Amino acid sequence: MALNYWQALVQGKCPSCRKGNMYKYSIFNPTKFTEMHSNCPVCGFKFEIEPGFFYGAMYVGYAISVATIITVFTAINILYPKADLSIFIGSIVLAVLLMIPVNFRYSRIMMLYFFGNVKYKGEPKQQQ
Ligand SMILES: [Zn+2]
């Protein structure tokens, strides 16, 4: 069954066939979560569509960090309105550190999905 656009994005699939994985290992692998396939293992689509394409992912990653900081700040403000400043700073630093794998991977995935202008070509034909 083919995935829709958002399912494929969330699962980190190739935007061209929505079947192959963009990353080689699980997001929970602490040393290898950054390793990408250079080409889709299913359809051969080249993920870095032009040299330096993923530099733009830094800006997406920055946006994810800001969203994380605002979310944690707001949550503490609602749950513990009288919390000490050190609680705010410590929680925000911890959240941003824990988000590093998510931030790294989804900044690249979103860069490719939102700014790569990749057309969905459907699943490749089965080879006999
Ligand atoms: Zn593919």
Q: What is the pLDDT of residues 27-52, one digit of tens each?
A: 999 999 999 999 999 999 999 999 99
Q: Sign of the CA dihedral 27, 30, 110, 115? A: negative
pLDDT at 128: 46
Cα-to-centroid distance, 67 and ligand 1 (Å): 30
Average pLDDT over residues 95-114: 97
Cα-to-centroid distance, 19 and ligand 1 (Å): 6
pLDDT by residue (tens digit) across 69-102?
Answer: 999 999 999 999 999 999 999 999 999 999 999 9
Measured at the alpha carbon of residue 39, what is the angle toward residues 33 and 108, in degrees to the nearest 5? 45
Average pLDDT over residues 9-29: 96
Residue with tokens 């410590």: 90
SS3 at position 36: strand
Each domain of the chain, given as residue ranges in start order, spans 5-115
Q: Which residues contact 15 (CB under 8 A, 6 or more apart)?
A: 8, 9, 45, 112, 113, 116, 118, 120
Cα-to-centroid distance, 123 and ligand 1 (Å): 8
pLDDT at 115: 95
Cα-to-centroid distance, 7 and ligand 1 (Å): 14
Q: Which residues pair with 21 in a beta bridge?
A: 13
pLDDT at 110 over 80: yes
Average pLDDT over residues 63-73: 97
Residues shown for the chain? 128
Comparing 24-28, 64-68, 121-125, the range with the smallest average pLDDT is 121-125
Cα-to-centroid distance, 17 and ligand 1 (Å): 4
> Residue type for 32, please?
K
| Spatial separation of the C-alpha atoms in residues 113 and 110, rounded to whole Å | 5
